[in-house]
């Protein structure tokens, strides 16, 4: 059984990798993969503009162009992070509806007047969060998903 502390460490490593990787993916390679592997004690698949292998099919994703995908850990401790460019209109309400319709319990939904916000969701098998942000290119939806441990 994976301890909650290890799950939190893996989640932090995933978020850090997502935030740092674009800056490091240019001229001098990508050392983040080995750093995240060390932090999580497991396998990491960084980069790519596709949904990571093994991403739970139970978690509905907003339509759009995948900007970045990552998977870290192994077995029950595997976690995922996916960023999708969703278009010119905020997908926040649609994402919340899709998650509810898929059987997820919405633990928290916070939003601003400009269509940005956060959704925290859980089920017996999965827990995660979605952050919707506005960029120059439109709205992005960033999903972080891991086994719930229930």
Which pTM value belongs to this model? 0.73
Spatial distance between the Cα atoms of 111 and 17, rounded to a whole number of angstroms: 25
CA distances from 74 to 5, 46, 116 (A): 16, 14, 32
For residues 150 and 125, the answer to whether their CB atoms sit within 8 Å is yes
Judge residue 107's burial from the number of C-beta atoms within 10 Å of its C-beta, 0-12 exposed, 13-18 middle, 19 or more buried. Answer: exposed
Do the beta carbons of residue 125 and residue 105 sit within 8 Å?
no
Q: What is the pLDDT of residue 49?
A: 85
- Let me know: does 36 contact 19? Beta carbons within 8 Å: no
Count of structural domains, the chain: 1
Q: What is the pLDDT of residues 122-139, one digit of tens each?
A: 999 999 999 999 999 999
Task: Tell me the longest C-alpha to C-alpha distance in the chain.
Answer: 44
Query: Under a CB-based contact definition with an 8 Å cutoff, are residues 95 and 107 in contact?
Result: no
- Tell me: pLDDT of 96 over 90: yes
Domain holding 22, by residue range, is 4-147
> What confidence tens digit (pLDDT) does each residue in 9-67 have?
444 445 444 444 444 434 334 444 555 555 555 555 555 789 998 999 999 999 999 99
């Amino acid at each position: 059984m994976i301890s909650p502390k290890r799950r939190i460490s893996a989640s932090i490593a995933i978020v850090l990798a997502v935030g740092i990787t674009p800056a490091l993916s240019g001229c001098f390679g990508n050392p983040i993969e080995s750093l995240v592997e060390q932090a999580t004690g497991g396998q990491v698949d960084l980069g790519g503009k596709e949904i990571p292998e093994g991403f739970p099919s139970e978690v509905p994703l907003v339509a759009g162009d995948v900007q970045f995908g990552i998977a870290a850990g192994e077995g029950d401790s595997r976690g995922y992070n996916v960023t999708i460019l969703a278009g010119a209109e905020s997908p926040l309400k649609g994402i919340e509806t899709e998650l509810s319709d898929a059987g997820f319990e919405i633990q928290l939904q916070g939003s601003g007047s400009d269509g940005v916000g956060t959704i925290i969701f859980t089920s017996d098998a999965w827990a995660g969060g979605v952050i919707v942000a506005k960029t120059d290119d439109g709205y992005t939806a960033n999903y972080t998903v891991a086994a719930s441990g229930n």
